[in-house]
Amino acid sequence: MDDTPNFEQCRRAARSVREAPLATEAIRVIRPRGQGMHRSRPPLSVLLYLAGRENRLVWKSEDAFAVVEPPTARAQEWSKGSKAPQGLALVVRWWDLAILGVPPMALIAVAVPVALTPWGKTAAVVMGLSAIAYVTAQMSVGTLRLMWSLLRRFSYRRGAGRDFLADELRSYHWVVTLFHSPHPEAVEGLLEQTANRAAALDAHLTVDAAYGTTLLACSARCVTDAAGRQALSASPQLRKVDESDWYVNRPTRKVRPPTTNAIEPISALRLMGLATMLVLGMQAHYIAVVERQSCGDGSCSRQPVTFFQAAEWLLHRLSWQSSSFEPLTWQARSLGVVTMFLGPVLVACVLTGLRRHLRYQDERKKMMYAHLDDEPAARSAVLLLVVNETERDAVIAAVCEQTGCTDPRPDQVDLHTVFRLGTLGSNDIVLAHSEQGTVSSHGMTTTAGALLNHLSPDAVILTGVCYGLNSRRYDGGDQELGDLIVSTQLRAVDHRKVTVVDGERHEINRGPRPEPAIPLLSRARAATHGWTGPPVHFGAVLSLNTLLNDPEERARLQRQDEEAIGGEMELAGLYAAAARTKTDWLLVKGISDWGRDKTSAPQAPAARNAADFVVRLLRLGNAQSDQHEGF
C-alpha cells in the first residue's frame, strides 16, 4: 500500500477517525489545546497529509493508519532535515500564533479602508471592537488554562503526574499521536510497522549520547476505539508505565536516560537581549516626548529631550551610573527606577545562562571521554584458531563474505602471523594458524598462550575439522560427514594413569574436564535457531595428541568414554592457555572423518560448515561475557 496518500485520501481518513467511538479524546492528542480557545494544530486532514509527506504516517488504508512524531527536543534538527513541503510545515509549526494574530489583524486591516468611506464608520467600529473582543477572549481563555495547568502541576492530583510524564516522553522519545485501526486483530501488525518506522526515522537523526535511549511511546488516549485500546494494552511489544495510560516499546538493550545537562538548553539570552533593547527603545521614545512637553519654551539643555539622549540616560540607569542628563517628569524618573532594577535581573540571567552553558560544555566533555572509554567495552575481540590451510581458507572465505574484506593482509603479533578480518556484529575478528597437537614448540599450547597474552581477546574459538564418535554408519548414531560438533565439555585423555591390579591392566583418566564459557555456549545454542546448514551436535569432546586413523584405537576410546561425541588434537592445549589468561573459549568443528578410513575430500566442506556456523554465532552479538544490556 502507498505510504504517501494524497490529500483526498487524508480527508476521508480524517472523516473515518471522527466517526470512531473515542475520536474526540484521540484527536485531542494529535491536536492539543492551544494558547486560547482554539487547537494548536490545523485540521486533522492537513496533519495527516503533512505526516504522509514526512514519512511519519504509517498507512495501510483509510481505516487503518498511525502517526508518529519526533522528540520535541530534536524538533529543530528534524525540521531542517525534513522533506516535507516547507510552506505547509511552516503553517503547522506557527498555527498557534497565526490563529491568535491573523484574524484580528485582518479585521483591523479591513476596517481601515472601510472607515474612510462615508457609510463605513459604524462597520469599522464594529470590526475594531470584534478584533479587540477576539483577542480579549483568546487571552482570557489562555490565562485560565495556564492557571489551571499550574494548579494541576503543583497539586497532588493524579493528572499532574500524567502531564509530567507526557512532557518527558514527548521531549526525548518518538510518540504515537494517532492510532486508528477498527479491527483489533490488525492492531499488532500496525503497531509493529509503526515501531519499525519510528526506528527507521530515528536513524536519520544525528547519533547523540546525550539523548540516551530513544523509545517509542504511545498513550492509550491516541487510540480511537475501546477494542483497539484493549489490544494495545495486551500487546507483547509494549510495556505499561506504572499508574499511567502510557506504553513504551520493549527495548532490546539497557535503557539510558537522557543527560539533560549535556543537552544544550533553549537559550533565552538572545531573546532577552532583543526584548531589552526593544523595551529601552520604547522607553527612550516615551521619555523624550514627555520631557520635550515639560520644558516648554524654557531651556532643555539638561533634560533628555531627544531619543538618543533618553537612551543614553537609560543606559546609565541600567548600569547604576550617573549621567549628564536629568529628567524632570515623574514618568521619566519612574521608568528610570524600573530600569535600575532591570539591570541586576539581566546580570543574574546572563550569569545563569553562562553557568548553564559552561555546565553543558563540561558535561559534553565528560560524555566524549566516557564514550571513548566505553567504545572498547561495547566491542569485543575474538580470536579464531585453526591448524591447517584448509581450515584457514574456509574461515577467511566465510568471514570475508560478511565483512567485505577482499584481500586480508597478514599482521605480525609477537612471533606469530595473524589475519585481521574486520568486524562481525560488534566483534573484531583475528585469525591465527597453529600447528597440530599441543606438545611441539609451534603447537596449540604455545601459540594460543602467546596470542592470548599479546592480543588479550575477549573470546577464543577453535574451529576446523574433527572426527566423530557417533557415526550413523559405524555406530548406529545420528552423525554424518559434514555435521558440526560444539563442545560442552573438554575431556583431555592424554593425562592418564596406567596400572595393573590383580594381573589386570587399568587406565585412569586424570585429565581436566572443563566446560566452555556460558555466554559462548549459550550463543552457539541460540545460533541453531533458523540454521539451515548441517545438524549441530552438542556434547563432550576428547582431546589427545594422536592422529586417529585406526578402528581398534577408536573403539578403545569409545569404551573409555561412552559420552564423547567427537575427538581432536588441540582443544586441551587451548584450554591450558585460556585458563592462564581467564579467556572464554569454545570449540566448533565439522566432522571430516570417523577416526578410521580417512580421506581428505570431506575436509574442505566440513571446515566451511564450521566456519559458517562460527560467523552466524558471532553475528548474534558481543562476545564479551560481562555485557548484560537489555531486558
Reported as a single tens digit per residue, the pLDDT across 294-306 is: 776 556 777 888 8
User: Residues of 361-373 as b/e, b for ≥16 C-beta within 10 angstroms?
Assistant: eebbeebeeeeee
The single residue listed with the C-alpha cell 552438542 is 538
SS3 of 219, please? Answer: strand
Domain 269-369 sits in CATH 1.10.260.40: no
State pTM to two decimals.
0.51
The C-alpha atoms of residue 557 and residue 554 are separated, in whole angstroms, by: 5
Give pLDDT tens digits for 53-94.
Answer: 888 999 988 999 999 999 888 877 777 765 555 566 677 777
Q: Are 449 and 591 in contact (CB under 8 A)?
A: no
Q: With a cut of 70, which residues of the chain have pLDDT below it?
A: 1-3, 35, 81-89, 146, 149-163, 252-253, 264-275, 296-299, 360, 364, 367-379, 621-631
Q: What is the DSSP letter of 280?
A: H
The C-alpha atoms of residue 387 and residue 391 are separated, in whole angstroms, by: 7
H or E stretch including 418?
strand 416-424
What is the grid cell recorded at 566? 567427537
Q: Are 438 and 537 in contact (CB under 8 A)?
A: no
What is the grid cell recorded at 110? 479591513
Beta bridge partners of 464: 589
Q: Are 235 and 188 in contact (CB under 8 A)?
A: yes
Q: Are 463 and 395 in contact (CB under 8 A)?
A: yes
What is the grid cell recorded at 476? 548406529
* Assigned architecture for domain 379-619: 3-Layer(aba) Sandwich (3.40)
